[in-house]
Structure 1
Amino acid sequence: MAFPFRLRAGRKKQPNFNVTSFWNLVPVKTFLISSNLEKELPDGSIPRASAMSSKAAAKQERPASRFSTKSDSVSEGGSSKSEQDQKAPWKALFFFTTKANLPIVISAVICSIACGAVMPIEAFISGKIFDGFSSYALGKYTATEFLNHQKKYVIYQVALSGASWVFHSCEFMLWLAFGELQAKSARDRLFHGLLEREIEWYDMRKNGIGALLPRLQTQIRDLQLAVAQPLGMLVCAIAQCILSLAEAFFFSWKLTLVTLASAPLLGVAITFISARMQVYVVKQQEKLAEAQKYCLNAFGAIETVKCFNGQGNERHKYMMRIRECAQFYFKVVKWNGLMMSVGVLLTSGMIVQGFYYGGVLIRKGEITPGTVVTCFFSAIGAFSALQLVMPHMMTLEKGRTAGLTLRAVMAEMDKGTVQRRPSGLLTPLECRGEIEVRNASFAYPARPDQLALDNVSMFIPSGEMTFLIGKSGSGKSTLSQLLMRFYSASQGQVLVDGVPVESLRVDWLRSNVSLVEQQSLLFNDTVFQNIAFGKEAYEDVTRSEVLEAAEFALLQLMISDMPKGLDTMVGHKGGTMSGGQRQRMALARARLRDTPILMLDESTSALDYISRQLMMDAIRRWRHGKTTIVITHDIAQILPDDYIFVLEHGKLVQEGYRKHLAQMKNTPFQDFLAPDEKALTSPFDSRKGTAFSSIHTRGSSLDSPLEDEQQEHVLHDPLEARLDASESNNRVSLLPAAFTEGSPVPFMGAFGGMKGAGSPWMRLAQASTPPSTSPVEPARSSWLWDTDVGSKTTTQRQNAQDTSGWSTKLEQLVERTGKRALDARKTVDGVRRRRVMRSEEDGVPLKTIAEEEGEKPAPLVSQKEKKLTTILATIWPVLDWKYRILMLIGFYGCSVHAAANPVFSFVLAKLVSTFSLPGNQQSKQLLYSMMILLIAFSDAFHCWLLRFLLGKCGQIWTDNYRERAMERLLDQPKAFFDQQENAVSHLSDCLDRYAEYMRELLGIFTGLGYI
């Protein structure tokens, strides 16, 4: 995954809030990496406005009912349906504002108000200048007086222009900075809030975390864009509107009222259209989030998609949501274009009303022509400010919706899963490692009617290794989830050292209990960091400590073969490593952590047989005297003196030592044995027809009689029988002599000072049953340890070997065995012959591995920037004739809209010139007013036409390239997705955010540039 921080010395970055940051949620919580992530923030702490600090989280608990399905009604953004229907308030834009942001906000508001004052001042100066022209035309001023009068106000105009430049520059800079700060605050609060959520909260997401996080990213971007320049323009427009109206009423209230007679219509129209548009904006975002979910799922599971040739199906599902999203966008752009056209029409209508009535007042001698100009431009300036904001109303609406949605996410996280916990949570001084489960029942939130655990009770003493076995779905892993407190039992209790886990601090619990799961997920970081994360203070981990843990996990040879050793990147979710290597790295991480309690949930299942046995014996030596719980299907790892709990369908059906359970006929444990290992007779046969009890159970275990139907066991698993038979004590080793240097098996340092090591693979003698050992010292596997070798010889061999190289030699031993087996297959007498490839028969040369590795996949983005003309030239070919005609009509609308401006200005100048002409000019004023009104109607219609049609064509153009990009990305090889620059989150971002920007290129900017 793309880890949210690049953890390198001397360099820290802000969190990159992306979807894959939470795919490794279990290791994050298991190893308390969330606290480490918080340390990586530039300021070193969670913001004050954070939804929940780690200390506050420790004082809270979940609701009593664990099976509530209220979260099912929660949308992917976190808001409920009622909250979605609620209109987003304007204060939603400031939900994530902190005290630290106030100086920036106040300075930005002051600059915006100053920018808003420019228009009314300019209207006053324009009126004075027009008065000078009128007075000179009527002979009231001489030439000298006229020049002096005009020069003074021209200087004022130049000074005003300079001040406007300064204030507008500062306004842009400050609002842009505020937008960045708002995005950072929202990102930090959500990031830390999500880290504090328990896993069950993620389980209850409707479409999963893969769809939630990309939508949150989109919401944060929408909020950031809205509170930057658009919000600054809104504040400036409000200031300009208020000041202009005040000036207009001051000079002539009659003319102002007539000019603003159509203002209520404009306000009602904007309110109605804005409400309709917001509904479709929300629906568009929902469909886009669903499309992102399919995109992320396809890229995240690209191996599965390719294995089943599902590229076409995944592309179809993605494009279905994109086309549904496009339908809602068509409605959004239609209403947005209507808002623009209504603004143009009503503003032009104000001009007709104002100038015509102004001429009437001039003829009556109530005001001068200059006063008409000042009053008119002030009144018009009030609504030209609103018209200036209209193109950004859609951005502001998205920002308001985003702010409300993000706030709803935080509120839902606070109340949905975590509530107040009782004060006084315990932090014991030490952890002995004693575990007890008392009548525990539990069902996962996603399946509240199906119990994963049903009244289970067990006792695990400290300092011993205990095994949990059972078929898939029997509840083994659920116990580990409850012990880690990822979930809480609905009934019963789970206790550590006699204390319920609900009464323990979560950070203390997870500092003393480690869990290594079968799916060993790694972070997209270096090998060193992935192992070092095992310690809470991972910054202080030395390379020697990491190398020691790597040596324990048989990773030295792998690390030495890597190009950068410990500093090699492991790729997205460890994609560059095999499953076995990932599991061994997880074990190395656990070895470095070394907690009193360790749970291994199929943690060696991906290892080969030999490595699995070596790893298990190393774990036994390491965990001697410490509590260890091993969850497994492979009973070959279980020694006679190991204690076993057998689970079936969520119930504990049997427990006891293996050597006793193996003798009990017709019991659940027998299903895990090979046919030749099953008990044929038993000292307990006399108890047929009665319930059997666990024998030799541990002191505090609760043994309850089982019903007859519980004695019925499932059918024999042939796969398990085959695996178990391979470890039969009566088997003769048939491995070939694969070792050229004799048969010594050196130890790695993690085994300690054990004696008697020899090469079991070179011996053909039958292995004997291992002698009984004390419970403190576990019995050693007879296949690995040969007690016939004298201690003297072993001691000499140990002294002759360098302990630092034991781990590497073991790995070489395993690899050499595999190579010999591979060579054997190629011979006539081998197990099987290699199939002749078709290319060999046809004589077509095949590329070698080196040649394949030498071919690097093409970068996702071309290094050479494309010219704007080259990009725009791609529009016409991808559109069909229907949309080509619509685009031409859209540019026709642009042409009319562009021509309307100079024609409007020419007619308006003719209208204004009538004020300084002697005589009755009423007929001319009426004619010019009607011409302006006709131009306004034409301009309004074509304004709507260009907005709607170009926006629609822009969406179609973008969707065509979305489909092409999706198709080509799905056809890329697996190596393409392993590259850091081609992370799943980045690819999804390209199809989401960059595609939205691409659409606006034609829908808005190309049209404006043409105009």
Structure 2
Amino acid sequence: MKNKQSGIKPFISLILSTNIPKLALTFGLIASVFTTIAGLVVPLLTKNLVDGFSVSSLSVTLVVAIIAAFVLQAVISGVSTYLLTAVGQKIVAKLRENMWIKLIRLPVSYFDKTSSGETVSRVVNDTNIVKDLISEHFPQFITGIISIIGAITILLIMDWKMTLIMMLAVPITVAIMLPLGRRMSKISRGLQDETAVFTGNIQQTLSESRLMKSSNAEESEEGKGLSGIGNLLGFGLKEAKIFALIAPLMQFVVMLVIVIIIAYGGLRVANGTMSTGSLVAFLLYLFQIIMPITSFAMFFTQLQKAKGATERIIEILDIPLEEGQNGLSMDVADKPVRVNHVSFAYDEDDSVLEDVSFVAQPGEMIAFAGPSGGGKTTMFGLLERFYEPTSGEIEIGDTPIRDLSMKSWRSQIGYVSQESAMMAGTIRENLCYGLQNWEEIPDERLWEVAKMAYADQFIKSFPHGLDTEVGERGVKLSGGQRQRIAIARAFLRDPKILMMDEATASLDSQSESVVQQALTRLMEGRTTFVIAHRLSTIVHADNIIFIEKGRITGSGTHQELSQSHELYRQFAKQQLA
């Protein structure tokens, strides 16, 4: 981040961008003023009580007034605290809303470079730091400021000399807090970064628990986890040292001021230039100043932490959205897909595709074959618009697909991947994932698409049928079952264009046979793109595009490539012999 982003201004701008509940904030601050006024009345009443104290002259009215002031202060303080805390909670809720809305609309390239655990840490941990500041420390800071201003004003009127003596503590306090605050800010940023890394590692390890156990990697992962915990402990201890310095130093300054005031005030009382009641009132006002000041130390410490969190939050909010949030809505049925001289690179020095061109006519099956790492999956990513070409154009009919809205384009594409990604939840929720008003889709329609995908029989075998929980990433289902649900999901979407990343490559022969039948049924009448890991699944393709090192080195039917392309002929000889 740039230096200009590390000050207090970005934090304030971030908070203002959340549309602060102005009415609640106004009433909360007004209540704080009344709380302070009620609190400021108590020492004055106490002064009158002490100066005129005797059992015979004890004023019931005065005692009642003191009690009423205490009760009023407590009630209004409660209202004020609730309103200001509610404002803080709403601000942070809005902040999290903004981050979540932004995150799910960021381009795939962001998630390629950033671990999901780190992103989760930004949304949960960093916003929690901001929440603590706004919900807990900020209300105390506001009420404290009002209390201090009121108390100092009355003290200056009562005795300006003693007040100036007391104010000598201010520069001392500032001199203590500024360097410690800067140190805390640096530690906080390091702690937040380390927390994000630790969260990412933990999440990755737990999500791949089967890989960890099958690889006997428990000890290795244990070491990584303990190392992360140790790093967090190191930052935590550094924070503890700062707090350990702040608390005693503030306590020392406070006690020094109290002793000086008592000594000086005692001399004034002794020589008759100040009444005992005035000294008592002065000390009470002093405590009304001291208590907020001690909480200020925590506020400014938390503010330093929040500034660090703000930098990370702003980083996410400043990332450009995925292109195509707005655009044309168009029916792509019966329109050819044209790829014209498309090149793509993830990084400037990492070219993946170079000058790729081909045409897919409506209803055709286009297959991509070639060695691993040649760019087949990247081509799929460009067609799906996970990435934008570095140069060249992809068109549907005569319209560049970048002119279409993402929603319009992707709603007409069915994607069946090799991994068959699934969300934690029920079979019903996975079939309907991403569809609007999915709760209204009748069971008859779901069973229809399940039957078309040859998935109805195994779904019926589960006690809860469509409401069966599939577990995280669908771990409670077999690979073949997950694939058939993915195919049923595609049937339900009724896509105009179908994309398949060799959906049968990782299945056993029995599952492959069933899934292949479902895929054949799904491809009927649709423009289909297939990534081929096994040539046996694409021998009937209308056009096979052979990609090597990002370039098309041959295209045609299976028979044509077998005659004209040496490497394809070798592939065919190895796999189809």
TM-score tier after normalising by the smaller chain length: over 0.9
Residues 486-497 of structure 1: pairs in structure 2 closer than 5 A: 486-497=386-397
**Structure 2 equivalent of residue 185 of structure 1:** 94
**Structure 2 equivalent of residue 26 of structure 1:** none
Residue 100 of structure 2 contacts residue 123 of structure 2 at CA under 8 Å; is this kept in 1?
no
CA gap of 1:506–1:429, structure 2 versus 1, over 3 A, is same
Q: Are 1:669 and 2:571 an aligned pair?
A: no
CA distance in 2 between partners of 1:273 and 1:264 (Å): 15
Residue 347 of structure 1 contacts residue 380 of structure 1 at CA under 8 Å; is this kept in 2?
no
1:266 to 173, 179, 195: 173
**Structure 2 equivalent of residue 476 of structure 1:** 376
Residues 316-327 of structure 1: pairs in structure 2 closer than 5 A: 316-327=223-234
Structure 1 residue runs of 5 or longer lacking an equivalent are 1-79, 137-142, 675-717, 726-1011
**Structure 2 equivalent of residue 171 of structure 1:** 80
CA gap of 1:403–1:112, structure 2 versus 1, over 3 A, is farther
Deviation at 1:572, TM superposition (A): 0.6
CA gap of 1:487–1:381, structure 2 versus 1, over 3 A, is same
CA distance in 1 between partners of 2:545 and 2:186 (Å): 56
**Structure 2 equivalent of residue 512 of structure 1:** 412
Q: Are 1:277 and 2:184 an aligned pair?
A: yes
Residue 480 of structure 1 contacts residue 515 of structure 1 at CA under 8 Å; is this kept in 2?
no
Residues 729-808 of structure 1: pairs in structure 2 closer than 5 A: none
SS in structure 1 at match of 2:460: helix
**Structure 2 equivalent of residue 378 of structure 1:** 285
CA gap of 1:352–1:384, structure 2 versus 1, over 3 A, is same
CA distance in 2 between partners of 1:87 and 1:323 (Å): 31
Residue 437 of structure 1 contacts residue 456 of structure 1 at CA under 8 Å; is this kept in 2?
yes
For 1:434, give the aligned amino acid.
P
CA distance in 2 between partners of 1:385 and 1:655 (Å): 77
Deviation at 1:83, TM superposition (A): 6.2
**Structure 2 equivalent of residue 201 of structure 1:** 110
CA gap of 1:312–1:95, structure 2 versus 1, over 3 A, is farther
1:110 to 30, 41, 44: 30
For 1:517, give the aligned amino acid.
S
For 2:92, give the aligned amino acid.
A
CA distance in 1 between partners of 2:264 and 2:473 (Å): 73
Deviation at 1:565, TM superposition (A): 0.7
Deviation at 1:460, TM superposition (A): 0.9
Q: In the TM superposition, what whole-angstrom CA distance separates every residue of 1:126-180 from its partner, at most 9, and x where no partner exists?
A: 21222123xx5xxxxxx53x223xx332111110121122123223432343333
Deviation at 1:199, TM superposition (A): 0.3
Deviation at 1:88, TM superposition (A): 7.1
1:647 to 523, 535, 547: 547
Residues 137-148 of structure 1: pairs in structure 2 closer than 5 A: 144=56, 146-148=57-59
For 2:46, give the aligned amino acid.
S
Residue 281 of structure 1 contacts residue 329 of structure 1 at CA under 8 Å; is this kept in 2?
no
Residue 124 of structure 1 contacts residue 374 of structure 1 at CA under 8 Å; is this kept in 2?
yes
CA distance in 2 between partners of 1:424 and 1:235 (Å): 43
SS in structure 2 at match of 1:426: coil
**Structure 1 equivalent of residue 220 of structure 2:** 313
For 1:402, give the aligned amino acid.
A
CA distance in 1 between partners of 2:152 and 2:326 (Å): 62
For 2:472, give the aligned amino acid.
H
CA distance in 2 between partners of 1:87 and 1:313 (Å): 42
1:223 to 112, 123, 130: 130
1:579 to 461, 479, 488: 479
**Structure 2 equivalent of residue 540 of structure 1:** 440
CA distance in 1 between partners of 2:231 and 2:293 (Å): 32
Residue 432 of structure 2 contacts residue 489 of structure 2 at CA under 8 Å; is this kept in 1?
yes
CA distance in 1 between partners of 2:112 and 2:73 (Å): 54
SS in structure 2 at match of 1:437: strand
Residues 584-733 of structure 1: pairs in structure 2 closer than 5 A: 584-640=484-540, 642-664=542-564, 667-674=566-573, 721=575, 724-725=576-577
Q: In the TM superposition, what whole-angstrom CA distance separates every residue of 1:335-368 from its partner, at most 9, and x where no partner exists?
A: 1121111211111111122222223434554432
SS in structure 1 at match of 2:373: coil
Q: Are 1:162 and 2:71 an aligned pair?
A: yes
Residue 259 of structure 1 contacts residue 376 of structure 1 at CA under 8 Å; is this kept in 2?
no
Residue 414 of structure 2 contacts residue 497 of structure 2 at CA under 8 Å; is this kept in 1?
yes
**Structure 2 equivalent of residue 854 of structure 1:** none
For 2:329, give the aligned amino acid.
T
CA distance in 1 between partners of 2:39 and 2:434 (Å): 63
Residues 825-840 of structure 1: pairs in structure 2 closer than 5 A: none
Structure 2 residue runs of 5 or longer lacking an equivalent are none
SS in structure 2 at match of 1:653: strand
CA distance in 2 between partners of 1:496 and 1:582 (Å): 31
Q: In the TM superposition, what whole-angstrom CA distance separates every residue of 1:887-925 from its partner, at most 9, and x where no partner exists?
A: xxxxxxxxxxxxxxxxxxxxxxxxxxxxxxxxxxxxxxx
Deviation at 1:429, TM superposition (A): 4.7
User: What do you get for the CA RMSD once the two structures are aligned?
Assistant: 2.5
CA distance in 2 between partners of 1:384 and 1:458 (Å): 75
**Structure 2 equivalent of residue 777 of structure 1:** none
CA gap of 1:173–1:514, structure 2 versus 1, over 3 A, is same
Residue 93 of structure 1 contacts residue 399 of structure 1 at CA under 8 Å; is this kept in 2?
no
SS in structure 2 at match of 1:652: strand
For 1:565, give the aligned amino acid.
G
Residue 336 of structure 2 contacts residue 396 of structure 2 at CA under 8 Å; is this kept in 1?
yes
CA distance in 2 between partners of 1:258 and 1:221 (Å): 40
CA gap of 1:549–1:400, structure 2 versus 1, over 3 A, is same
CA distance in 1 between partners of 2:311 and 2:33 (Å): 26
**Structure 1 equivalent of residue 12 of structure 2:** 91
SS in structure 1 at match of 2:104: helix
CA gap of 1:501–1:488, structure 2 versus 1, over 3 A, is same
Deviation at 1:521, TM superposition (A): 1.1
Between Structure 1 and Structure 2, the one with more strand by share is 2
Deviation at 1:424, TM superposition (A): 8.7
Q: Are 1:454 and 2:345 an aligned pair?
A: no
SS in structure 2 at match of 1:196: coil
CA gap of 1:94–1:109, structure 2 versus 1, over 3 A, is farther
TM-score normalised per structure 1: 0.54
CA gap of 1:597–1:272, structure 2 versus 1, over 3 A, is same
SS in structure 1 at match of 2:258: helix
CA distance in 2 between partners of 1:641 and 1:379 (Å): 87
**Structure 2 equivalent of residue 553 of structure 1:** 453
Q: Are 1:129 and 2:49 an aligned pair?
A: yes
CA gap of 1:97–1:436, structure 2 versus 1, over 3 A, is closer
Q: Are 1:369 and 2:264 an aligned pair?
A: no
**Structure 2 equivalent of residue 767 of structure 1:** none
CA gap of 1:575–1:117, structure 2 versus 1, over 3 A, is farther
For 2:187, give the aligned amino acid.
Y
SS in structure 2 at match of 1:673: helix
Deviation at 1:257, TM superposition (A): 0.8
SS in structure 1 at match of 2:338: strand
Residue 426 of structure 1 contacts residue 503 of structure 1 at CA under 8 Å; is this kept in 2?
yes
**Structure 2 equivalent of residue 251 of structure 1:** 158
CA distance in 2 between partners of 1:408 and 1:86 (Å): 14
Residue 118 of structure 2 contacts residue 199 of structure 2 at CA under 8 Å; is this kept in 1?
yes
For 1:238, give the aligned amino acid.
I
Residue 467 of structure 1 contacts residue 645 of structure 1 at CA under 8 Å; is this kept in 2?
yes
Q: In the TM superposition, what whole-angstrom CA distance separates every residue of 1:835-869 from its partner, at most 9, and x where no partner exists?
A: xxxxxxxxxxxxxxxxxxxxxxxxxxxxxxxxxxx
Residue 454 of structure 2 contacts residue 514 of structure 2 at CA under 8 Å; is this kept in 1?
no
State how many pairs are aligned. Answer: 577
Deviation at 1:323, TM superposition (A): 1.2
Residue 513 of structure 1 contacts residue 598 of structure 1 at CA under 8 Å; is this kept in 2?
yes
Residue 117 of structure 2 contacts residue 197 of structure 2 at CA under 8 Å; is this kept in 1?
no
